[in-house]
Chains A and B, each alone.
Chain A
Amino acid sequence: MFKAKVLVKRRPSILDPQGMAVEKGAKHLGFNNIRETRIGKYVEFTLDLADRKTAEVELNEYCNKLLINPNLEDFEYTLEEI
């Protein structure tokens, strides 16, 4: 069994209006050193598999087919045996 932790990030070339709006809020609060705020997603799940390689294949497939839109997002992950 593995625990997967996936970070979904908007690709650098894609505008992030949400991040920009949040950064505006930061400025209103007096955080003047905050730059390049980008908002992503965090997804965690377990994989009921014994073999790490198989788990990685399934994780990558799950991310590419459903969790991310490759036009828009990239992902990175950690996979920990539990």
Chain B
Amino acid sequence: MKPKFGVVVFPGSNCDHDAYYALKNYTGSEVTFLWHKERDLQNAQIIILPGGFSYGDYLRTGAIARFSPIMNSIIDFSKKGGRIIGICNGFQILLEAKLLPGVLLKNKSLQFVCKDVYLSIENNRTFFTEGLSKNIALKIPIAHGEGNYFADKETLDSILENDQIVFKYSTSEGIINEESNPNGSLLNIAGIVNKEGNILGLMPHPERASNPLLGKKDGGLILNAIVNNFAN
């Protein structure tokens, strides 16, 4: 059975419709929008916090969205093992809500970076990546000004110990080096899960690379893996 997705809409979300479209049309799943002032998750089985500039990125990215009424329901949902995916600004919100460890700083270059990058899959034993081959680097776009992942030593040690790094920026051959790091992220980190493995945060936008007509399909591989893993 395919999951029902809930895509949260904050004031300033701008990838909510992309996520809705990709999940509905590419994976054929049921999708519903969840307004941030609501508390009802409408029986959604996987929650998406989409990209954008929630609350204009005021104060810090994700800092105010984290206190929207729907976030209380999402935190309760996560404690029961509910699956959550934060993409770009959604990742920033998950960090502010402390559902994931670490912070995202301004890009090292101080510039907003909008381009296709390659991702190496570091952990394909998570709910979100099982079934994806570790041998292929995925080509997926990023578009952010604050995606420079940072964690203090203690946090990073715990992330490594629990195998929480899911995606790293790499070359098209899957080589992880400084040249392939678009924003200065520690260890080229592009996406992580929590210790329990039910929450994923990532800066790249799989929903923007899931329509073969537009020439990009690798994001769709991730979305399909999630739908398939839910069914199994």
Q: How many angstroms between the C-alpha atoms of A71 and B105 in the bound complex?
A: 11
Q: Which residue of B has the minimal Cβ distance to A11? A: B152
Q: Is the CB of A17 within 8 A of B63?
A: no
Chain A positions 48 through 74: 1 when the CB is less than 8 Å from some CB of chain B, otherwise 0: 000000000000000000110101100
CB A72 to nearest CB in B, in angstroms, measures 5
Q: Which chain B residues lie closer than 8 Å to A13 at the CB level?
A: 152
Q: How many angstroms between the C-alpha atoms of A14 and B155 in the bound complex?
A: 14
Task: Tell me whether A15 is interfacial, beta carbon within 8 Å.
Answer: yes
Q: Is the CB of A14 within 8 A of B105?
A: yes
Contact (A69, B96) CB under 8 Å given A14-B150, A17-B148, A17-B184: yes
Task: Tell me whether A18 is interfacial, beta carbon within 8 Å.
Answer: yes
Q: Which chain B residues lie closer than 8 Å to A1 at the CB level?
A: none
Task: Tell me whether B136 is interfacial, beta carbon within 8 Å.
Answer: no
Q: Which chain A residues lie closer than 8 Å to B150 at the CB level?
A: 14-15
Q: How many angstroms between the C-alpha atoms of A7 and B212 in the bound complex?
A: 50
CB A37 to nearest CB in B, in angstroms, measures 13
For chain B, give the interface size range. 20 to 34
Segment touching A, from B79-87, B106-114, B121-129, B220-228: B106-114
Contact (A69, B63) CB under 8 Å given A13-B152, A15-B150, A17-B110: yes
Sample of 9 A–B contacts (CB below 8 Å): A14-B103, A14-B150, A15-B105, A17-B108, A66-B67, A67-B59, A69-B103, A71-B102, A71-B152
Q: How many angstroms between the C-alpha atoms of A9 and B152 in the bound complex?
A: 17
Interface residues of B in 141-198 (CB under 8 A from A): 148, 150-152, 184
Q: Is the CB of A17 within 8 A of B107?
A: yes
Q: How many angstroms between the C-alpha atoms of A76 and B59 in the bound complex?
A: 17
Q: Which chain B residues lie closer than 8 Å to A67 at the CB level?
A: 59
